[in-house]
């Protein structure tokens, strides 16, 4: 979850008086007082439509009603003297308090799904007693029962969609299995349930009623309000932002897999857990603070950089769930309020890591300001190409979680431990969860489609992710393409396989080699053209003068500069000057047909043209209108020193055009 969740959590811990003072201070800082309307309660008997998030879950369930990918919950091992009646009464209180926990979903007479909120009834705890089994079989059987409970599909039309089972292993050892369908809950709701369950259990075990504050609304009220709020104009405002952010094309991320993709999206989930070392995280947090970024942004930067290195795709899009709890009424509400945002980053290997972080920061802040538009609406309006085996708009997910289960440590007479089962369907091919625990420790988990990836591949992915985080923390100015992901053992293995381990990113550009030659043999002959001879020092001097003029005109790395000259000394000086300025040259043969030259000038987006007086009229003018005629140019006052331009081996050097099958020349960037 994004940093918006952290703000909401901190606000939730404030007293009502503190919240009021905070609101007043915010209003004063903004110079205006804005009255935010509250979410109203539904009228009695008013139909309860599905929220946009619920609508998507309803659609997915209809596609595959046996999927367990959207089952939420967990299994707790309870050691000590358990008060079973207090346990049952606690869940009775929760089910009565939160309508979501007794909601089912059915189509109305018009075929549209609605929420059906069932009346309060006596909650009955299901108990499985394994105490009659041989002692050596009980733990294995308890785990098998917990997996069965987790992986039994829900019927959204019948319910209940909350499943609570107590497995008795010993008189003072139990497994508590709690499973819900995502359509009625989310990760934030899980924390609410844990905290309120702990409060209820403590109270009921002492023969008292839990003192929980009244809820101002229920989830169905929120679902109705959400639709009215967005349809009143907010949807169009936020959609305009997301259109500009995501563009018209929506490329699919092609992660390299160990096994061929299936024609279905029903994959089994597997997990790989690894530690985020304390020293690394401390250094990363310091680096983020220095750059006015958050830890979430740094962790996402590392993940998007990793995806670029593995796929080679420059357009990296990652799904990020957000709590969507920025309204006070929703902070203690159980229900599916979570929204998913698509955070896009356009990356190439020449980018410094801090530049990638800067782009992540801008995308995250923009998304936070436009977080109300449901992901489901975004998909419906943008209409990306749909596929049954790949989700739309993004194919991998990142989630930063802050876990706090300290309430479970306060259950009287009990020691509580979470049991990992790991048996469920995979929502995506790859998900990265980073966890920040209450004790300050950090860990990470890759959840992946077991049919696509080998466990060793994902373990290696985790190691490479850590290396990227280390470089972001220690050398943020380093270019992504220069980061060495491979461990020493992996490099030794590559050498054993005979793979060339030469680091091409460190190859010097051509003009640097000429500058070095000037230092060693300045008077050596560099060029001969007819009767004209030019030494390395004179060639370098003339190229430097022209390069400084190009830089003054705005030429920089990746700028396209056309060059249309006869074969001459000017041609070599011009090519060298363009490279020294950081630009990429586009050779334009004056003998080409006018139509071909027009296409090349337009297609390559030339910013400036170098040419000669005799052929100037034959060459189309670039859109910018900038033309330098070399044999009329006076560069006597231009500096002669080598320009200082930061270049990377992967920067564009030139664009050459080859004949295309359609008759139009095709650009080949080098």
DSSP letters for 610-663: EE-TTTGGGSPPPTT--EEEGGG---TTS--SPP-----TTS--BEEEE--TTS
Q: What does the alpha-carbon distance between residue 158 and residue 97 come to, in Å, rounded to a whole number?
A: 20
* 557-575 average pLDDT score: 91
Q: 639 in a domain, yes or no?
A: yes
Considering the domain boundaries, does residue 82 fall inside one? Answer: yes
Q: Are residues 553 and 456 in the same domain?
A: no
What value does the mean pLDDT of the chain take? 88
Domain-located, residue 552: yes
Res 116 pLDDT > 70: yes
For 33, the token pair is: 């007082």
Please state, in angstroms and rounded to a whole number, the distance separating the CA atoms of residues 154 and 424.
13
Flag whether pLDDT at 240 surpasses 70. Answer: yes
* Domain closes at, from 497, 523, 542: 497
Q: How confident is the model at residue 399 (pLDDT cuts 50, 70, 90)?
A: very high
Q: What does the pLDDT average to over 404-428?
A: 86
Q: Residue 24: its pLDDT value, please?
A: 46
User: According to the model, what pLDDT value does residue 393 have?
Assistant: 94
Residue 490 has pLDDT above 90, yes or no: no
Question: Residue 507 — very low, low, confident or very high, per pLDDT cuts 50/70/90?
Answer: low
3-state secondary structure 144-203: HHHHHHHHCCCCCCCCCCEEEEEEEEECCEEEEEEEEEHHHCCHHHHHHHHHHHHHHHHH
pLDDT band at 11 (very low <50, low <70, confident <90, very high): low
- Picking from 185, 205, 225, the residue at the C-terminal end of a domain is 205
- Per the DSSP assignment, residues forming a β-bridge with 443 are 275, 435
pLDDT digits (tens, 9 = 90+) for 163-221: 999 999 999 999 999 999 999 999 999 999 999 999 999 999 999 998 999 999 999 99
Residue 575 is part of which domain span?
510-669
One domain for residues 460 and 593:
no
Please answer whether residues 222 and 333 qualify as being in contact, where contact means their C-beta atoms are separated by less than 8 angstroms.
yes
**DSSP conformation letters of 524-536:** SEEEEETTEEEEH
Q: Report yes or no: 458 and 484 within 8 Å, Cβ to Cβ.
A: no
User: Is 516 a residue whose pLDDT tops 50?
Assistant: yes
Of the pLDDT bands very low, low, confident and very high (cuts 50, 70, 90), residue 55 is very high
- Would strands 126-129 and 339-346 be described as parallel, antiparallel, or unpaired? unpaired
The 10 Å CB-count burial string (b at 16+, else e) for 153-176 is: ebebeebbbbbbbbbbbeeebbbb
User: Same domain for 584 and 658?
Assistant: yes
Range of lowest pLDDT (8-17, 69-78, 599-608):
8-17
| 222 has a pLDDT exceeding 80 | yes
CATH number at residue 310: 3.30.559.30
**Would you place residue 540 in the very low, low, confident or very high pLDDT band (cuts 50, 70, 90)?**
very high
Same-domain pairing of 466 and 518: no
267 or 343: which leads in pLDDT: 343
Q: What is the pLDDT of residue 488?
A: 82
> What is the per-residue pLDDT for 384?
87
Rounded to whole angstroms, how far apart are CA atoms 76 and 348? 45
Torsion of CA 388, 393, 395, 400, to 10 degrees: -130
β 113-117/103-107 pair status = antiparallel
Tell me, what's the pLDDT at 29?
Answer: 44
Q: How many CB atoms lie within 10 A of CB 355?
A: 17
Q: Is residue 240 part of a domain?
A: no
pLDDT band at 13 (very low <50, low <70, confident <90, very high): low
Alpha-carbon distance of 277 to 275, in angstroms, equals 6
Q: Does residue 36 carry a pLDDT above 70?
A: no
Residue showing tokens 């830089």? 551
Say yes or no to pLDDT of 503 above 60: no
Query: Domain check: are 196 and 323 in the same one?
Result: no
One domain for residues 480 and 615:
no
**pTM, to two decimals:** 0.70
- Whether 652 has a pLDDT exceeding 50, the answer reads yes
Same domain, 325 and 441: yes
pLDDT at 153 over 80: yes
Is the distance from CB of 260 to CB of 251 less than 8 angstroms? no
CATH number at residue 630: 3.40.50.980
pLDDT of residue 262: 76
The reply to whether 7 and 99 lie within a common domain is no
Whether 141 and 185 map to the same domain: the answer is: yes
State residue 506's pLDDT score: 55
Distance CA 16, CA 331 (A): 13
How far apart are the C-alpha atoms of 452 and 430, rounded to whole Å? 10
383 and 516 belong to one structural domain? no
How many domains is the chain partitioned into structurally? 3
User: Pairing state of beta strands 430-437 and 396-403?
Assistant: parallel
Length of the chain: 670
Which of these three, 205, 235, 250, is where a domain ends?
Answer: 205
* Ranges 139-143, 145-149, 504-508, 541-545: which has the least confidence: 504-508
Specify which of 84-98, 369-383, 517-531, 565-579 reaches the highest per-range mean pLDDT: 84-98
CATH code of the domain containing 106: 3.30.559.10
In the chain, the percentage of residues whose pLDDT exceeds 70 is 91
492 and 610 share one domain:
no
Domain assignment of residue 34, yes or no? no
User: Tokens in use for 485?
Assistant: 């992901």
Q: Which residues, including other chains, have CB under 8 Å from residue 291's CB and lie 6 or more apart?
A: 354, 357, 358, 361, 476
Tell me the three state secondary structure of residue 543.
helix
Q: Domain for residue 11, yes or no?
A: yes
Show contacts of 512-518: CB within 8 Å, 24+ apart: 514/539, 514/540, 514/576, 515/540, 515/642
Q: What is the pLDDT of residue 16?
A: 43
Residue 23 confidence (pLDDT) above 90: no
Q: What is the pLDDT of residues 293-307, one digit of tens each?
A: 999 999 999 999 999
Both 485 and 520 in one domain: the answer is no
Rounded to an integer, what distance in angstroms lies between the CA atom of residue 431 and that of residue 428? 7
- C-beta separation of 640 from 626 below 8 A: no
What is the pLDDT, as a whole number, of residue 30?
42
> Is 360 contained in some domain?
yes
The answer to whether position 418 is within a domain reads no
The pLDDT assigned to 485 comes to: 92
pLDDT at 544: 94
User: What is the DSSP track for 247-283?
Assistant: -S--PPP----SSPPPSS--EEEEEEEEE--HHHHHH
Q: Would you state the pLDDT for residue 205?
A: 95
pLDDT in tens, 454-465: 999 999 999 999
Question: Cα(144)–Cα(387) distance, rounded to whole angstroms?
Answer: 34
Contacts of 531 (CB under 8 A, 6+ apart): none
Euclidean distance between CA atoms 342 and 323, whole angstroms: 14
What tens digit of pLDDT does each residue of 308-337 get? 999 989 999 999 999 999 899 999 999 999
In this predicted structure, the answer to whether residue 598 has a pLDDT above a threshold of 80 is: yes
Over range 631-655, report the average pLDDT.
85
């Amino acid at each position: 979850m994004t940093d918006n969740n952290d703000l909401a959590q901190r606000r939730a811990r404030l007293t009502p008086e503190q919240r009021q003072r905070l609101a007043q201070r915010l209003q004063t800082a903004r110079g205006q007082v804005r009255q935010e309307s509250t979410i109203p309660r539904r009228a009695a008997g008013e139909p309860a439509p599905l929220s946009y998030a619920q609508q998507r879950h309803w659609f997915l369930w209809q596609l595959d009603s046996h999927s367990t990918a959207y089952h939420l919950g967990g299994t707790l091992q309870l050691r000590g003297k358990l008060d079973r009646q207090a346990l049952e009464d606690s869940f009775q209180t929760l089910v009565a308090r939160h309508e979501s926990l007794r909601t089912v979903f059915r189509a109305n007479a018009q075929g549209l799904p609605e929420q059906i909120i069932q009346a309060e009834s006596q909650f009955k705890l299901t108990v499985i007693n394994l105490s009659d089994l041989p002692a050596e079989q009980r733990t294995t059987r308890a785990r098998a029962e917990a997996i069965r409970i987790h992986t039994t599909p829900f019927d959204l039309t019948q319910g209940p969609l909350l499943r609570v089972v107590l497995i008795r292993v010993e008189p003072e050892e139990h497994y508590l299995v709690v499973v819900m369908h995502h359509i009625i809950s989310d990760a934030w709701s899980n924390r609410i349930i844990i905290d309120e369950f702990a409060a209820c259990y403590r109270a009921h075990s002492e023969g008292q009623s839990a003192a929980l504050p009244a809820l101002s609304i229920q989830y169905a009220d929120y679902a109705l309000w959400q639709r009215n709020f967005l349809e009143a104009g907010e949807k169009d405002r936020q959609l305009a932002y997301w259109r500009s952010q995501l563009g018209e094309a929506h490329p699919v991320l092609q992660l390299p897999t160990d096994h061929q993709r299936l024609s279905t999206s029903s994959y089994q989930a597997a997990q790989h857990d690894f530690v985020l070392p304390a020293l690394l995280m401390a250094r990363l947090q310091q680096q983020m603070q220095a750059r006015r970024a958050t830890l979430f942004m740094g962790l996402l930067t590392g993940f998007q950089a990793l995806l670029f290195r593995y796929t080679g795709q420059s357009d990296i899009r990652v799904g990020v769930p957000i709590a969507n709890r920025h309204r006070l009424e929703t902070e203690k509400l159980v229900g599916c309020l979570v929204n998913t945002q698509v955070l896009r980053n356009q990356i190439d290997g020449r980018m410094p890591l801090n530049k990638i972080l800067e782009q992540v920061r801008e995308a995250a802040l923009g998304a936070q300001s436009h977080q109300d538009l449901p992901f489901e609406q975004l998909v419906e309006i943008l209409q990306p190409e749909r596929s049954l085996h790949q989700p739309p708009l993004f194919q991998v997910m990142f989630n930063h979680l802050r876990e706090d289960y300290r309430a479970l440590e306060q259950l009287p007479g009990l020691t509580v431990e979470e049991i990992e089962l790991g048996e469920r369907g995979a929502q995506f091919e790859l998900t990265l969860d980073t966890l920040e625990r209450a004790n300050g420790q950090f860990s990470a988990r890759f959840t992946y489609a077991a049919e696509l990836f080998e466990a060793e591949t994902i373990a290696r992915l985790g190691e490479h992710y850590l290396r990227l985080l280390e470089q972001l923390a220690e050398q943020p100015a380093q270019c992504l393409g220069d980061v060495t992901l491979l461990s020493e053992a992996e490099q030794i293995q590559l050498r054993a396989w005979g793979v060339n381990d030469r680091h091409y990113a460190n190859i010097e550009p051509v003009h640097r080699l000429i500058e070095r030659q000037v230092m060693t043999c300045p008077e050596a002959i560099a060029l001969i053209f007819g009767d004209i001879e030019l030494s390395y020092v004179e060639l370098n001097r003339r190229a430097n003068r022209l390069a400084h003029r190009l830089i003054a005109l705005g030429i920089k790395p990746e700028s396209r500069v056309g060059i249309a000259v006869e074969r001459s000394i000017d041609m070599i000086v011009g090519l060298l000057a363009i490279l020294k300025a950081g630009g990429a040259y586009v050779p334009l043969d004056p003998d080409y047909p006018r139509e071909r030259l027009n296409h090349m000038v337009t297609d390559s987006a030339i910013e400036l043209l170098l040419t000669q007086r005799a052929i100037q009229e034959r060459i189309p003018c670039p859109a910018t209108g900038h033309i330098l005629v070399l044999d009329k140019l006076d560069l006597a006052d231009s500096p002669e020193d080598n320009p200082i331009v930061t270049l990377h081996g992967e920067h564009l050097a030139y664009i050459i055009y080859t004949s295309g099958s359609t008759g139009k020349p095709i650009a080949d960037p080098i």
